[in-house]
Amino acid sequence: MTINCPQCSQPMQAREYERKLGGSIELDFCFSCQQIWFDPNESGQLAPNAVLTLFEEINQHQQEGQPRQQTGALHCVRCYAELVLTNDLVRTNRFRYHRCPQGHGRLINFWHFLREKQFVRDLTTLERQQLSVKVAQVKCNSCGGAVDIRQEDHCSYCGAPLAVLDQNAVSKALGEYRSDAQRLQAGAAVSERVTGTPAPPSSPPAVGQPLFDAPAKSPAAASSSDGLFDLLGTGIALLLDAAID
């Protein structure tokens, strides 16, 4: 059944992903608002390969829309109860989402989902200072607002810190997902010997294999549709190289 985005009320697009213990999970996307709706526990049930596929899909669609500042109450796609803004923490990464008080699921935008999965990190003070030599304003990937990187290390509209894709975190996460996939494949092989059911193929990317497109080499090339510099779509190493050259 098609559901409408709690933020813009337009129909969300359904995508199917592999489930850890077999079968599939259907997630709902609003690429215009850059939002994902998760039914209960779906995020934790994604198979390792499914997580990587989802990250790739987010990257492919991130230029199709813009995160939007919330202007009113958001409602659950199942029971229409008002969603509750929730701040959460995984390791050192803070992220937020809107959850149904009745437990029907949660709405999270792309940027906060990447924070939850440890694929982005906060920009350090030194990196912000170096980047500000070439770039005056950047786009907040949480709400889409403009941030004066020369003066601020967070968005004045929604309070989100400036963050970038972390290449070390990406490699580490790929390694963890690869190990998980290998364990699942080993378990499936044992099951095949016992039950005679063939194990499903599994070929996760090797650690260090690029997951996202190569970052742009200039601020102009990495600008979003509103002309603001997009940190999420740009690798920090090339950003700093551009600032120093």
In tens, the pLDDT along 205-229 reads 333 333 333 333 333 335 555 556 6
Does the pLDDT of residue 192 top 60, yes or no? no
Is 192 within a domain? no
> Mean per-residue pLDDT for 231-241?
44
Is 87 within a domain? yes
- Dihedral pair phi/psi, residue 60, rounded to 5°: -65, -35
89 CB neighbour count, 10 Å cutoff = 10
What angle do the packed helices 48-61 and 167-195 form, to 10 degrees?
140
Is 191 within a domain? no
Is 125 within a domain? yes
| Cα–Cα distance measured from residue 71 to residue 76, given in angstroms and rounded to the nearest whole number | 16
| Cα–Cα distance measured from residue 213 to residue 218, given in angstroms and rounded to the nearest whole number | 15
Number of domains in the chain: 1
Is 52 within a domain? yes
pLDDT in tens, 6-49: 999 999 999 999 998 889 999 999 988 889 999 999 988 888 77
Is 75 within a domain? yes
| Cα–Cα distance measured from residue 92 to residue 117, given in angstroms and rounded to the nearest whole number | 11
Q: In which band, very low, low, confident or very high, does the pLDDT at 52 lie, cut at 50, 70 and 90? A: confident
Give the pLDDT confidence score for residue 174 in this predicted structure.
63
**Selection from 137, 159, 133 nearest residue 149 by Cα:** 137
Q: Which long-range contacts (CB under 8 A, 24 or more apart) does 153-156 make?
A: 153/123, 153/125, 153/128
**Selection from 86, 89, 84 nearest residue 122 by Cα:** 89
Where in the sequence is the domain holding 57, given as residue range(s)? 13-168+212-244
Give all strands of the β-sheet with 106-109 in edge-to-edge order.
13-18, 24-30, 35-38, 106-109, 93-99, 84-90
Side chain identity, residue 33 = C
E strand or H helix at 122:
strand 120-122
Is 230 within a domain? yes
| Pairing of the two strands 137-139 and 120-122 | unpaired
Is 44 within a domain? yes
